[in-house]
A and B are shown apart, each in its own frame.
Chain A
Amino acid sequence: MIYFQLFYTFFLIGLFGFGGGYAMISMIQGEVVTNHHWMTMGEFTDIVAVSQMTPGPIGINSATYVGYTAVVNTGGAHWMGILGSATATFAVVLPSFILMLIISKFLMKYKHHPMVEHVFTGLRPAVVGLLAAACLLLMTPDNFSTPSESPWQFWISVAIFVSTLIACQVYKINPIRVLLCCALIGLLLF
């Protein structure tokens, strides 16, 4: 029964998927392409591409898409595919939901404990480092292009980067508005 398999597979991925969306994608690939043969590597690559381009966390996007494709590829109708999507998405969220509830409870209870305070004194600066790393890791030719490959796209990307920073830091414009503007600039200029 494919729904049970989907549930089990994605529950495990949710439970052991440390390290964010990209780490999860390699786990999903191992399970659904290599292990269960629910889809080809090419189909999976397409799913990852769409998951990166659409709004929402990459882990949720790929679980939703993989759930649908797995059911349809094994002979299910479209509505059964939707059920597959729901199963995979629910299963991937469930472990963290349970774990986070337990952790939240403890955290809210003990956050004033001196030892917990000390731990967070170390953690807070480290999280700033994580945020900086997330940003550095995204500064790739994939996202900005390169001066040699496409000078036009590169310099406009740099201009978008700088103006977004100014819009957020100096003028405190809502990030959603800035995103929409940049999408429009992309449509007009590229």
Chain B
Amino acid sequence: MIPVTDIKDTSRQPLPSLMGGEGGGSLFTTFFRIGLFTIGGGYAMIPLIEAKIVDEKQWITREELLDLMAVAQSCPGIFAVNIAIFIGYKLRGVGGALMSTLGCIMPSFLIILAIALFFRQFQDNPWVARAFRGIRPCVVALIAAPTFKMAKTARIGWTNVWIPVLGAFLIWMFGVSPIWVIVAAGLGGFLYGKYIAADSPPALPIREGADTEEKE
């Protein structure tokens, strides 16, 4: 039986073009912008994707982003690039995946090459160091912000709040790799569905408006 978890259809929003046009709404330019401002590792991309792709353009739902993060984290390779590949593929197939990936890595590529060619003392520059002292605490807060919204989307309540708490604690305090947390959680969900919730209907139906509620 198929649960009533119809994830919002993205087709009600116009699909992005691959390269240009539509006032910068293409996959390439969107991911170029996101790549350009992803500072401090892959997770720093999440708030940008959330603002641009989930809230503004509504290409994917917040719930899909959550699922996608689980998949991207358990696949080899670069987290941020994995996410770009999936979103591009979902919206426009292989060509879309290619464009979003290119967009995502192009800023890195150009900036690093510029530094390697012309600006080798980049990390010793006092202006750069100062700007970064301001950026770093900001990035930490930017990653903290979606955590709360994601908790809402994942429908965290008293019965399952131990999962994120335990997961975060294991990673933070004991240096457990996030992959093991993902594997354990996926396996746990599978076993729960197979043996405990087998008779009752599976997951609670996801409310259609769950994502739009908080946007006034």
- Inter-chain CA distance A40–B159, complex, in Å, is 52
Chain B 165-195, CB within 8 Å of chain A: the 1/0 string? Answer: 1111001100001110110111111101110
B13-21, B22-30, B74-82: which one contacts chain A? Answer: B74-82
Contacts of A169 on B, CB cut-off 8 Å? Answer: 145, 148
* Interface size class of chain B, counting residues whose CB lies under 8 Å from the partner chain: 35 or more
A129 close to chain B: CB less than 8 A = yes
Highest count of chain B CB atoms <10 Å: which of A60, A129, A145, A187: A129
Which label, helix, strand, loop or mixed, suits the secondary structure of the B interface? helix
A55-B36, A137-B171, A186-B132 known; A121-B189 Cβ under 8 A: yes
From known contacts A96-B82, A174-B51, infer whether A134 and B143 are also in contact, taking CB-CB under 8 Å.
Answer: yes
A1 at the interface (CB under 8 A from B): no
CA distance A131 to B69 in the complex (A): 10
A67 to B194, CA, bound (A): 48
Mark interface residues in B115-145 (1 if CB within 8 Å of A CB, else 0).
Answer: 1110000110001101111111111111111
Residue B210, interface by CB 8 Å: no
Q: Which residues on the B side are within 8 Å of A176 (C-beta)?
A: 33, 37, 48, 51
In the bound complex, residues from chain A placing their C-beta under 8 Å from that of B172 are: 133, 136-137
Flag if A100 contacts B75 (CB, 8 Å).
yes
A178 within 8 A of B: yes
Size bracket, chain A contacts: 35 or more
A144 to B72, CA, bound (A): 29
A146-190 interface (Cβ within 8 A of B):
153, 157-158, 160-162, 164-165, 168-169, 172, 174-176, 178-179, 182-187, 189-190
Chain B 196-211 per-residue mask, 1 if CB under 8 angstroms from chain A, else 0: 0100001100000000
Is the C-beta of A122 less than 8 angstroms from some C-beta in chain B?
A: yes
* Chain A residues near B135 (CB-CB < 8 A): 179, 182-183, 186
Complex Cα distance, B75 from A60, in Å, reads 16
Measured between alpha carbons, how far is A131 from B156 in the docked complex, in Å?
A: 14
Bound state CA distance, A184 and B160, in angstroms?
A: 41
Residues of A within 8 A of B181 (CB): 126, 129-130
Question: Residues of A contacting B197 with CB < 8 Å?
Answer: 118
**A-B residue pairs in contact (CB < 8 Å), sample of 27:** A20-B79, A50-B122, A55-B38, A55-B107, A56-B36, A57-B108, A59-B78, A60-B80, A95-B76, A96-B78, A99-B75, A114-B1, A114-B3, A114-B202, A117-B202, A118-B197, A119-B186, A125-B156, A129-B167, A135-B43, A144-B140, A164-B137, A169-B145, A175-B47, A179-B37, A186-B132, A190-B134
> Which 6 pairs between the two chains have the least Cβ-Cβ distance?
A186-B134, A122-B189, A118-B193, A96-B77, A56-B108, A129-B167
